[in-house]
Structure 1
Amino acid sequence: MKAIRTGAKPSSLETLAWTDIPDAPTPGPGEITVRLKASSLNFHDYAVVKGMIEADEGRIPMSDGAGEVVAVGDDVEDFAVGDAVVSTFFPYWLNGATPPGAFTRVPGDGIDGYAREAVTMPAHAFTRQPKGLSHSEAATLTCAGVTAWRALFVDDDIKPGDTVLVQGTGGVSIFALQLAKAAGARVIATSSSDAKLERVRALGADETINYKSCEEWGKRVLNMTDGRGVDCTVEVGGPGTLNRSIQATRVGGHIALIGVLTGRAGEVQTAMLMGKNQRLQGLTVGSRQHQLDLVAAIEANGIKPQISDSFALENLADAFRHQESGDHFGKIAVEI
């Protein structure tokens, strides 16, 4: 079967190789074989193929995978041949607290991922797909969808009447917008593009801010909330945006620190964070149970993941180049 592998170190988009690999093995006890149909791009995947995250040479990238069960091993009760399934980011984090060493077994990072035609994995490495979604739509849930779910409803308790701030129009932020609106929250969204802000308003954003034309957007958020600030900020920028997020969040509010798009380190206004008694919590995706809860929420609310563009697996490097451009809105899908 076919797959994409990273090349010799240092890894780059130019060294990604479309290659032949052995067929997926027959599933053993507790395992399933999945004919993969789709994946989707995350910044984490980009960091792996660009060499920003250390991974073995020849790694099969991509942490998201969706497809159809084609074989089932003994002792598997949750799945049958023909079921539509979607992968989990942490195959061995089923519930409860994050286990030590979880990243050593993340597909596309610590182990081979889903940039291939089929895979045999433990059954608990997958959940069912939400009914009514395509494989490409389901493949967006593994990383971006579960991250947004955990930020709002596991590490926080967003409810009707709360206010949520989302940054940009990438996968996590768009999922957070959709989920927060489904919960009855008010959403303020930022972007550097007026055209994209029109699209987030169409998805339900209550107020929007162009952070290029309004550099002091933290103050703007305070004005929009009558000086109170938002209950929860979905912080995907990192050090370049964190201090304004602290400013924009209410006393006692929650900042979900998710991304490092502006870098890995920087100055933090710790006095303001402390003075506002805020909770700054880092998070990386979530457990299998979090994904099961997200699947139920998507079905109950009819949420449709937003896919901006789609690329064939053999053109994965071009998909990442499109991601680099920042022109996408929501998720970039990969058809397998």
Structure 2
Amino acid sequence: MPKPGPREVMVKVSAVSLNYRDAAMLDGAMDVAPGDVLVPGSDMSGEVVAAGADTTRFKRGDAVISADTMNWIDGPAPPYETNSVPIIGRLAEYVCVHEEQLVSPPQSLTHAESSTLPVAGLTAWFAMVELARVRAGQTVVVQGTGGVSLFAVQFAAAHGARVIVVTSSADKIERAKALGAADGVDRQTTPDWDQAVLAMTGGLGAHQIVEMSGGDNVARSVQALALGGRISLVGLMGSTEMRAPIIPMLFKRAEIVAIGVGHRRAQEDMVAAIDRLGLKPVIDGTYSFEQVPDAIAHLRRGPFGKVVVTF
């Protein structure tokens, strides 16, 4: 049983949402803190059961969710230490966390639902709302139907934008439409999805694109972009590199902005919006702690939404 230090609280974990980086860490594809034991998991929801000295933000009995960024409360750029150590070790029955790395969850969500917010939810919110200021009258292309993508669909639609989802099946398109998407492109049957987006927008293109693949797919995103449009670079499911033609980018005055989660203030804004709008995260599978290997396998298959482990 861990013991909270000064300004730390001990949280009894109720649910942990898995992210692709958890599998990547297990595969050795991402750097982690040195040591013999790797405890994955960064997204958690639970209840404070003990507080260390000088703790003021939370008390025993409070519901909390993790804040994935270290020492980045607000501002245009994170301090260096935010990215120096990965936030992991939450896949445990009890964890001790500094009080500054916790946020109150939405009152309208369960622990399982709230656990999906710190990475997937906040990444989508930071890309769509905090940085790009999505608004009515815009067209937004969202690639994929994983956790970040479906949050992006919901947030963009809630702000009045027309959302086009690019995914791998007609069934997923219909499920995305139920969340607020207006149109969809099946990239299996229409690999030139950028041309389909241009046709859907009368040749104007999309004002915003959530790029989830990387590699050569970035070139298609550039082609599908409207003049003055923005590409939010979130995923690297296809490649850790990106390739795109410079001349179309110059002509379109394109912006490519890398998104790596966000700060705590934006997370608190998102929580308030979720309560006000009544948005519900999409959970594709829920597993017990003993079923973590099955949950990881589900994650590798590519879920429609999130995979959650409950205690």
TM-score when scaled to structure 2? 0.96
Aligned to 1:13: none
Letter paired with 2:73 = L
The equivalent position to 2:145 in structure 1, one of 155, 161, 169, is 169
Letter in 2 for 1:125: Q
Give 1:103 shift: 2.3
Structure 1, unmatched stretches of 5+, are 1-22
Identify the match of residue 246 of structure 2 among 270, 285, 289.
270
Residue identity matched to 1:157: R
- The 8 Å contact of residues 163 and 186 in structure 1, kept in 2 or not, is answered as yes
Instruction: Read off the aligned partner of 1:220 and give its amino acid letter.
Output: A
Q: CA deviation at 1:60?
A: 1.0
Q: Which residue of 2 aligns with 1:28?
A: 5
Residue of structure 2 in register with 1:329 after alignment: 304
Aligned to 1:206: 182
Matching residue of 1:94: 73
Task: Write out aligned runs for 1:69-108 (5 A).
Answer: 69-96=48-75, 97-108=77-88
- DSSP 3-state at the match of 2:43: coil
Matched ranges for 1:270-309 at <5 A: 270-309=246-285
Q: Secondary structure at the match of 1:226?
A: coil
Q: Distance in 2 between matches of 1:256 and 1:244?
A: 14
Q: CA RMSD in A?
A: 1.3
Distance 2:257 2:155 in 1: 19
**How far off is 1:48 after superposition?**
0.7
1:153 is paired with a residue whose SS is helix
- Report deviation, 1:58: 1.3
Q: State how far apart, in whole Å, the 2-side matches of 1:119 and 1:91 are.
A: 16
CA distance in 1, matches of 2:278, 2:201: 29
Equivalent-residue separation in structure 2 for 1:266 and 1:299 (angstroms): 37
Q: Kindly state the Cα deviation for residue 116 of structure 1 after the two structures are TM-superposed.
A: 0.5
SS of equivalent to 1:101: helix
Structure 1 runs (4+) greater than 6 angstroms displaced? none
Distance 1:168 1:298 in 2: 22
Match of 2:28 in 1: 51
* Partner amino acid, structure 1, of 2:134: I
3-state SS of paired residue (1:295): helix
Q: Are 1:93 and 1:287, in contact at CA under 8 Å, matched by a contact in 2?
A: yes
Asked whether the equivalents of residues 218 and 242 of structure 2 are also in contact (C-alpha less than 8 Å), the reply is: no
Quick one: distance in 2 between partners of 1:177 and 1:320?
Answer: 24
CA distance in 2, matches of 1:241, 1:267: 8
Match for 1:99: what amino acid? Answer: P
**Which amino acid in structure 2 is aligned with residue 335 of structure 1?**
T
Which of these residues, 274, 278, 295, is aligned with residue 319 of structure 1?
295
In 2, Cα distance between equivalents of 1:181 and 1:174 = 11
Q: Does 1:219 align with 2:198?
A: no
Partner of 1:151: helix, strand, or coil?
helix
What is the CA–CA distance in structure 1 between the aligned matches of 2:296 and 2:266, rounded to whole Å? 27
Percent of aligned pairs sharing the same letter:
39
Cα deviation per residue 1:34-72 (whole Å; 9 max; x = unaligned)?
Answer: 101111111111111111112234121111111001112
The code of the aligned residue for 1:114 comes to R
TM-aligned CA deviation for residue 28 of structure 1: 3.1
Aligned residue number for residue 123 of structure 2:
147
How far apart are 1:287 and its partner, in Å?
A: 0.9
Distance 1:270 1:314 in 2: 49
For residue 92 of structure 1, report the CA deviation from its aligned partner: 2.0
